[in-house]
Amino acid sequence: MSLSGGWYLTLAAVLFGIGAVGVLVRRNVLVMFMCIELMLNAANLTFVTFSRMLGDIGGQVVVFFVLVVAAAEVVVGLGIVVAIFRRSTSTVADDLHVLKG
């Protein structure tokens, strides 16, 4: 049994939606962080699917670039999280309130 590309695209769209909603509604920094990763991976899945559908290897190569960038982002992001939450005990974004906004 084989699935058509549309299913993969739909799955990617759903994952992207879950990620986007997660970033907007969840208040825990680490969860927000994971949601961003989910969005990036949804984009990767879309790239691979289109790459297969179009018969073009380019889309799969893009995924490597995105993976590398995502890894770099994780390194920096976790560094910032650790640096900030050394001061406080929780990782809830609402606990940060020095800057009004």
Q: Any contact of residue 79 with another protein (CB under 8 A)?
A: yes
Handedness of CA 13, 16, 20, 26 (dihedral sign): positive
> What angle do helix axes 58-85 and 29-54 make, rounded to 10 degrees?
180
Report the residue number, 11 or 77, with the smaller CB distance to another protein: 77
Q: What are phi and psi of 92, to 5 degrees?
A: -90, 130
| Interaction between residue 18 and another protein (CB under 8 A) | no
Measured distance CA(22)–CA(33) in Å, rounded: 9
Q: Which chain residues interact with another protein by CB under 8 A?
A: 9, 12, 16, 19-20, 23, 29, 32-33, 36, 39-40, 42-44, 46-47, 49-50, 53-54, 56-59, 61-62, 65-66, 69, 72-73, 76-77, 79-81, 83-84, 87, 93, 96, 98-101
